[in-house]
Amino acid sequence: MSKTTVSAPANIAFIKYWGASDLDRAIPMNPSISMSLEHCVSKCTVEVLSHEGEDEVWLAEPDGGFGTPSPAFAQRVRDHLGRIRRWAGREEAVRVATRNSFPTAGGLASSASGFAALTLAAAGAYGKGGAPPHELSLLARRSGSGSAARSVFGGYVEWPRPKAGSGEEDSYAAPIAKAEHWDLHDVIAVVEIGPKTVSSLEGHRRAPTSPYYTKRQELLPGRLDIVRRAIKERDLAALGPVLEEEAVDLHLIAMSSHPPVWYWSPGTIAVLRAVRELRQEGLAAWTTMDAGANVHVICDAESADDVADRLESLPAVGFVIQDGVGGGPETETTHLF
């Protein structure tokens, strides 16, 4: 039986997807922009079986073995595989396994890389690996993990909301600059490992109940312009403040939703403070966070080691991952099983 293995990157959002007009299909309320990472990736192997029926879903364990995911997660994967089968016009079940190169479900975008890798590997296994990239991005988005739409690409990626009056078929991501265009680094301070207590899905659901939700929507067109221009002109001094505004606003909205969602931990604050101090010392480094306690520090290549040294010296930081912009998904020749 033929197997296809693809690794797809996690991504860190510069402009966040937070709030959806249709949560099941991940139709976003606003456009988002992210950078795909090089080392934080999910690797997924899909093998087409010779019969129809229930798909086998496995998660790689840290010891190298395989475990079964929670029933809810396995169901999400099977639902998505059903979607991919309908799109590919195929009926056979598959065996699928995934391994993340980084802590799962700790706000490090494992769903985005995981569902992007699953989409690309399953498309390949069903003989549709050569489909137009925008179709694969659309399919990844429909997994319900919307940010997976961006993880189908490398470099710097924008995912627009649908145009007014259109359905959702035009809400897929596309690259806006290649990885080689700008060597940005992402030094990730892991202050909390383990699954977050409130899923992004629930965070999106509650977001519109925050009084600050509408205000952020008003501010977004200006921020999007700055981020697009900053990427084009490799202007970290322009990008940095918007990164921090976006991250703080996401968490401000989460904390003021009904009921509130608190992703921050004391370690989050310690890292935010340390990065402010680094800037006062002259380093160009800026923070951002997705829906979790861990902090991504975006900086240039020259500053990355100094940033990592400082973060590692903080008692609240468990460990640091040095990552940076990556080239995007890759088809692999070694399979997970």
Query: Which residues would be at the binding site for ligand DP6 (CB under 6 A)?
Result: 13, 16-18, 32, 109, 111-112, 145-147, 200-201, 204, 250, 290-291
Nearer to ligand DP6, 57 or 278 (CB): 57
Residue 92 CB, nearest approach to ligand DP6 (Å): 27
What's the chain's Rg over C-alpha atoms? 19
Residue 246 CB, nearest approach to ligand DP6 (Å): 9
Neighbours of 231 (CB within 10 A): 22
How far is Cα 250 from Cα 333, in angstroms, rounded to an integer?
39
Residue 152 CB, nearest approach to ligand DP6 (Å): 13
Residue 63 CB, nearest approach to ligand DP6 (Å): 25
Nearer to ligand DP6, 59 or 250 (CB): 250
How many residues belong to the chain?
A: 337
Nearer to ligand DP6, 37 or 112 (CB): 112
Could you tell me the sign of the dihedral formed by the alpha carbons of 179, 183, 186, 187, in that order? positive
Nearer to ligand DP6, 35 or 123 (CB): 35
Nearer to ligand DP6, 5 or 36 (CB): 36
Q: Of 46, 285, 33, 105, which is closest to residue 184 (Cα–Cα)?
A: 285
Nearer to ligand DP6, 101 or 279 (CB): 101
Exposure string of 36-64, with b = 16+ CB inside 10 Å and e = fewer, is: bbbebbbbbbbbbeeeeeebbbbbbeeee
Residue 231 CB, nearest approach to ligand DP6 (Å): 16
Residue 119 neighbours by CB under 8 Å, 6+ apart: 80, 84, 136, 139, 140, 143, 148, 152
Residue 253 CB, nearest approach to ligand DP6 (Å): 10
Nearer to ligand DP6, 13 or 271 (CB): 13
Residue 72 CB, nearest approach to ligand DP6 (Å): 13
Nearer to ligand DP6, 250 or 299 (CB): 250
**Which residue's structure tokens are 């921090």?**
244
Specify the 3-state DSSP secondary structure of 210. Answer: coil
- The string of DSSP codes covering 185-203 is EEEEEE---S--SS-HHHH
Consecutive H or E run containing 176: strand 174-177
By the 10 Å C-beta count (0-12 exposed, 13-18 middle, 19+ buried), 69 is classed as middle
Residue 312 CB, nearest approach to ligand DP6 (Å): 25
**Two tokens at 206?**
């509650």
Specify the 3-state DSSP secondary structure of 172. Answer: coil
Nearer to ligand DP6, 4 or 147 (CB): 147
How far is Cα 192 from Cα 318, in angstroms, rounded to an integer?
7
Residue 60 CB, nearest approach to ligand DP6 (Å): 19
Specify the 3-state DSSP secondary structure of 43. Answer: strand
